[in-house]
Chain A
Amino acid sequence: MGAAKDIVEYSGVPRFLFSDFPLGNSCGKPHEPDTQRFTLDLALKVFESAIGPRTTVQSPLRWTEDGDWKNDYNNIARMPPEEVAKRRAEFDKVKQVALSQRKQAGVA
């Protein structure tokens, strides 16, 4: 169960239930148990019925009617230059933290 269709299919998996939702919602919508139940149920049906590898089924559920959230994710065209500069500074910091942690854990 996932929300990044291109990345999962690029890797290649046996069976994939794709939800066209913002990352973080592979299992349904927040605080909407009906959508979560629907999603897991569909995933199990895909699991049982797939006849070969790379079977992708797309959930019919929609995040929003207009789908405009897709235009926001890491979209440079929607970011002013100062936001880009701020993000670069944040990312440099994050990379340092991750590197020192990997070293500490012995996996760097």
Chain B
Amino acid sequence: MTDTMNFAPDFDVPLEYMRRTREYYLALGYDNPYRWAHYVDAPFQPLKKPLKDSTLALITTAAPYQPDKGDQGPGALYNAGAKFYAVFSGDTAVDHDTRISHIGYDRKHTTAKDSNTWFPLPLMREFAAEGRFNLAPRFHGAPTNRSQRVTLETDAPEILARCRQDQVDAALLVPT
């Protein structure tokens, strides 16, 4: 007989968010399951020059703090009122107050008190200062507005255009 005493527990695998979410909304009484974006192919471009000579842009789904849009945390309930509907960009040389109350993050196990866990701009500035890469002059905010059509046809092309204006070589996407 094989001794399985030292194996990790069966549940301890990457959480199946799609299955969990489908079952959750079905139990809540919604039988129109969400369709996540899905492609058979994925794009790939090798680096054209060493990372230290490349310009890297940060793309985030975090929202700028908007004092007139209700509780945005830390610890706020889901706040759809704090969503944003157009791409925004910010100066990477200065700090920004970004929040994730408009997104379905794990509210039981995370307090959203430390923005460095979803918006790594300060650390990226440090890495750039250490010579790891060149930091693009702007970061970009991608709206999460429940319309895949708007994401694909409006927001993504806008972010790409802004990255090209800044002569960006690569993008670091941090979705929450």
Q: Which A residues are closer than 8 A to B by beta carbons? A: 1-2, 4-8, 10-14, 18, 20, 22-31, 33, 36-37, 40-41, 43-44, 47-48, 50, 52-54, 58, 63, 67, 69-76, 84, 87-88, 90-91, 94-95, 97-98, 101-102, 105-108
Contacts and interface: CB of A to CB of B under 8 A. Distances in A.
Contacts of B27: 76, 84
B176 A23 contact: yes
Given A40-B127, A84-B27, A73 B44 contact: no
Given A30-B114, A105-B85, A7 B36 contact: yes
A4 to B, nearest CB: 5
Contact of A84 (B28, B39, B113, B145): B28
A80 B174 CA distance: 34
A18 to B, nearest CB: 7
B105 to A, nearest CB: 3
Q: Chain B at the A interface: mostly helix, strand, loop or mixed?
A: loop
3 interchain residue pairs of minimum CB distance: A24-B105, A22-B106, A105-B85
Place the interface of chain B in its size category. 35 or more
A72 B107 CA distance: 10
Nearest to A85: B28
B98 to A, nearest CB: 12
A75 B20 contact: yes
B88 interface: no
A66 B41 CA distance: 36
A75 to B, nearest CB: 7
A84 B23 CA distance: 12
Given A30-B111, A67-B11, A70-B15, A25 B117 contact: yes
B124 interface: yes
A10 B38 contact: yes
Nearest to B114: A30
Given A33-B116, A87-B28, A101 B109 contact: no
B146 A24 contact: no
A55 B51 CA distance: 18
Contact of B14 (A5, A91, A97, A105): A5
Interface string B142-176: 00011100100010000000000000001011111
Nearest to B74: A30
Interface string B10-22: 0111111111110
Nearest to A31: B114
Interface string B73-88: 0000110110101100
A74 to B, nearest CB: 4
B83 A101 contact: yes
